[in-house]
């Protein structure tokens, strides 16, 4: 079976399982993941952070966004521009609009951020050695390829797998964060 077919099968299976999680579990686990993020030195020291606007059963980031606003931390959210991901700085939720795939993203007029110290990356699944199973469009892999940003994959502990197929273009995470652990990739 090809990697593409196997990844698509796995993606559907894992998304269905994640979508079956209770809202209470998602909230509690997301808060614990946020606590575990604070244990990562390069995250704490970052002056600019890329973060996604969570939807559905993803690890929730709304409280994290509020925390960044309260701390005056510079952060940016992704916007799909043609076939690429760009990160744009926002100064408030009024800078967001409904974009591709039903995801809130910064308006076109928002300032593009070229370099980010850390990028928080959504994942359907991750391996302990930093491979990420995303949604299959390759936006994050294309964006992160060759960037010096530290990459933190966030998912629930039950979505950390021993292994799954990966390709040469798949960008490894520097760190995997779940509600149970911070896993530094070697």
Within 8 A by CB and 6+ apart from 1, the residues are: none
Q: Are 131 and 151 in contact (CB under 8 A)?
A: no
Domain count, the chain: 1
Distance separating alpha carbons of residues 113 and 78, to the nearest angstrom: 10
Structural domain harbouring 153: 3-184
Within 8 A by CB and 6+ apart from 5, the residues are: none
CA angle 172, 103, 130 (to 5 degrees): 10
CATH code of residue 83: 3.40.50.10420
The whole-number pLDDT of residue 1 equals 57
The whole-number pLDDT of residue 135 equals 86
Measured in Å, how far apart are the chain's first and last C-alpha atoms? 29
CA angle 183, 184, 186 (to 5 degrees): 130
Each residue's pLDDT, cut to its tens digit, for the chain (186 residues) gives 578 888 889 999 999 999 999 999 999 999 999 999 999 999 999 999 999 999 999 999 999 999 988 888 889 999 998 888 999 999 888 999 998 778 899 999 999 999 999 999 999 999 999 999 988 788 999 999 989 999 999 999 999 999 888 887 889 999 999 999 999 998
Output the pTM of the full model.
0.94
């Amino acid at each position: 079976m090809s990697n593409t077919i196997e990844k698509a099968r796995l993606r559907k299976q894992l998304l269905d399982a994640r979508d079956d999680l209770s809202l209470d579990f998602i909230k509690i686990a997301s808060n614990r993941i946020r606590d575990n993020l604070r244990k990562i030195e390069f995250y704490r020291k970052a002056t600019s952070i890329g973060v996604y606007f969570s939807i559905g059963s993803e690890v929730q980031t709304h409280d994290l966004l509020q925390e960044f606003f309260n701390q005056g931390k510079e952060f940016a959210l992704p916007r799909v521009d043609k076939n690429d991901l760009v990160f744009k700085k926002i100064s408030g939720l009024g800078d967001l609009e409904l974009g591709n795939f039903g995801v809130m993203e910064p308006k076109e007029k928002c300032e593009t951020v070229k370099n980010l110290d850390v990028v928080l990356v959504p994942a359907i699944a991750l391996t302990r050695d930093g491979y990420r199973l995303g949604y299959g469009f390759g936006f994050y892999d294309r964006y992160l390829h060759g960037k010096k940003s530290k990459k933190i994959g966030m998912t629930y502990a039950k979505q950390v797998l021993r292994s799954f197929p990966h390709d040469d273009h798949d960008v490894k995470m520097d760190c995997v964060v779940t509600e149970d652990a911070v896993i530094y990739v070697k």
